[in-house]
Amino acid sequence: MAKRLLSSGPLVDFGSALGAAYIRFVYNTSEVRRDPPDTDAKLFAEHPQIFAMWHGQFGLLPKIKPDRPAAVAAMVARHGDAEMIAGVLKRFGVRLIRGAGAGYRRGNRGGAAALREALKALKQGTTVAMTADIAPGPARKAGNGIVMLARLSGRPVVPCAMATSRFITLNSWSAYTINLPFSKLGIVVGDPVRVPPDADSAAVEAARIAVERGLNQATARAYDLAGGIDPLSPQAQIKAAKPAFAIRAYRALTRYAAPLAPLMLAWRTRIGKEEPARRLERYGEASVARPPGYLVWFHAASVGETNAVLPVIEAIVAAHPEINLLLTTGTVTSAKLARARLPKGAVHQYVPLDNQDYVRRFLEHWRPDLAVFVESEIWPNLVLETSALHIPLVLVNGRMSFRSFRRWRKRPGLSRPLFSAFGLALAQNDRFAQRFTALGTPRSVPVGNLKIDAPPPPVDLAGHKTLSAALAGRTVWLAASTHPGEDDIAAVAHLAMKGARPDLLTIIVPRHPERGPFIAKLLEGANLKVALRSEGKLPDAATDIYIADTIGELGLFYSLVPVAFVGGSLVPHGGQNPIEAIKLGAAVVTGPHWRNFADAYDELLRAGGAVQVSDAKDLATATLLLLEDAQARGRIMSRAESAIARMGGALPRTISELEQFLPSKATLQHAS
């Protein structure tokens, strides 16, 4: 509704008239300083040209248009929000080219049509003005579109910038500035960047970097002339990174809530979510001594993150046996996994509760030389106290959903101090890397998803032999990592398939094993015969549903079945990792809710390496087809394995980036 209102004719006319008047007011009340002194002459020397600015600083764009007659067209997005901008530009005699690049977003934003129209305009002698960076960011990273326009048209890109000493910075992807009147106004026209028509990919990239560098230099010079502080400069970032009220309030709240910590931990112990013998670790009190020498601290939230980072830990131990490794996690299941799979000499501790005193106690004991957090574990006290001790912070396998990004971006006083504390974010894909950069991380690199490269969960050979004997002669499928709402869906699918397969056995592995007895009671109410693995039972010939409510056995069950539904996807949870199932030989069926593993599922579904369903009926149909048609199942598995091979490579890239933080053996030997 708001977009329709903003694009309505009367409001656009009024708003554009007001906007144009405001631009003239700012310009006329400001002291203008130019570099070079005659910017008009420099602009006319290259006319027609591709006039480039950064998105965050284009507010006064119409006033850089020379006083002498010159045909100028501006590229403006065609969505409703841009109608007001288009209306303002028209009032300055600027022709419009509608459309924009999509950046990392999906969908057609008219970029191809705009490119064709821009080429036509340049050929006819019209200068084309456009921003070099593309929504949704990152800011001040030149896209390829402007360089391709220069290559195809033969016209140069001229970097330009305008900045005022007084402005308001909006909390947008480009840190858009609203220039204020009665300012000093710097106007800079940089040197042209030319792109040969026969430029190959390397030359195009070199030209893109040259445009980016030219714009950054022009912008820095414009702020220097105006006597202002660039909102995206290191100086401004340091100022913005100071903890705001939200951070101070959080730190005060967690400190004053400390008396409640024993009650919370006691309750969690009663429901099996804490180990009684290790509760002191949650207060930051270590249960083992710190080993001497260089220590790398890894922190992972739970089982999924631990599985992802274990190969990184193993690789570092293999390459640097002299380095000590500490892994912290927050759940009982991940602690048991760590005990079973950590390399010899590596230490596991529970992460302290996010209280300043507990975190400081933890850090004073362990004194890590490098802190590596996994995926999205951003606890304010943990991050800020680590940063305060000048311990390098790295985020690996980083992910950031759009919903989370939008929430963080609305709270820069909270997000900027936290994300700027990480010197490096190794993200799962380009989109996530852009988001970390936009939130303040100095360097974000897309390296891929560690979960693709991680080995499958371990399989207990003795348990496999015992269960294989118990399942002999049965048709078996698995509902893995199920969440509330999916167990009864699996049961309905079981009943739908049983008519065709009377010998059918459904195995359910709940994501949270403590739910086992509840699931059993729920399904027994539907007249299904249920056996619980936590009670030491094995399925017999009459068992309908076998609930594997144990810890660390998911790999065992994947290895036993030909078809697995991977849970968290028929309810809006975000899905679970499908790669483990495929690596252990199970064809994957998923629901539509897999945003947490979007890269993997995008590739698998595109390749035909997984099947997506929407409800119990679809689940039954797809599973029964795969159970009965070995050839169809084989084709899906072959496509899935090929897709996984294409997605791999995150592990060596992650290790390569971490190596820059690790000391050489010679340094360690000298220090010892």
Catalytic residues: 305
C-alpha to C-alpha distance for 97 and 73, rounded to whole angstroms: 7
What the block records as the tokens of 515 is 């739910």
For residue 156, which amino acid is it? P
The residue whose two tokens read 């892994």 is 327
Classify strands 157-164 and 127-131 as parallel, antiparallel or unpaired: unpaired
Residue-wise DSSP of 226-247: HT---TTSHHHHHHHTS--HHH
Closest by CA position to 399, among listed 569, 156, 249, 596: 596
Count the Cβ atoms, other than its own, within 10 Å of residue 503: 10
CA atoms within 13 A on the CB side of 204: 15
Q: Collect all residues with Cβ–Cβ distance below 8 Å to 326 and sequence separation of at least 6.
A: 295, 296, 297, 298, 346, 347, 348, 349, 366, 368
C-alpha to C-alpha distance for 116 and 623, rounded to whole angstroms: 49
For residue 36, which amino acid is it? P
Q: Are 452 and 650 in contact (CB under 8 A)?
A: yes
Q: Collect all residues with Cβ–Cβ distance below 8 Å to 80 and sequence separation of at least 6.
A: 3, 4, 6, 7
b/e 339-351 (16+ beta carbons within 10 angstroms → b): eebbeeebbbbbb
Classify strands 545-547 and 563-566 as parallel, antiparallel or unpaired: unpaired
For residue 12, which amino acid is it? V
Closest by CA position to 327, among listed 357, 390, 343, 319: 343
The residue whose two tokens read 């997005």 is 77
Phi, psi (deg, nearest 5) at residue 215: -65, -40
The residue whose two tokens read 């003795």 is 462
Q: Collect all residues with Cβ–Cβ distance below 8 Å to 350 and sequence separation of at least 6.
A: 275, 278, 281, 282, 328, 329, 330, 335
Contacts 24+ apart (CB under 8 A), 579-582: 579/451, 579/452, 579/454, 579/456, 579/644, 580/307, 580/456, 580/457, 580/554, 580/555, 581/480, 582/609, 582/637, 582/640, 582/641, 582/644
What the block records as the tokens of 652 is 């060596």
For residue 461, which amino acid is it? L
Residues across the chain = 672
C-alpha to C-alpha distance for 425 and 305, rounded to whole angstroms: 15
The 3-class secondary structure across 363-423, one letter per residue, is HHHHCCCEEEEECCCCCHHHHHHHHHCCCCEEEEEECCCHHHHHHHHCCHHHHHHHHCCCC
Q: Are 395 and 371 in contact (CB under 8 A)?
A: no
Radius of gyration of the chain (CA): 30
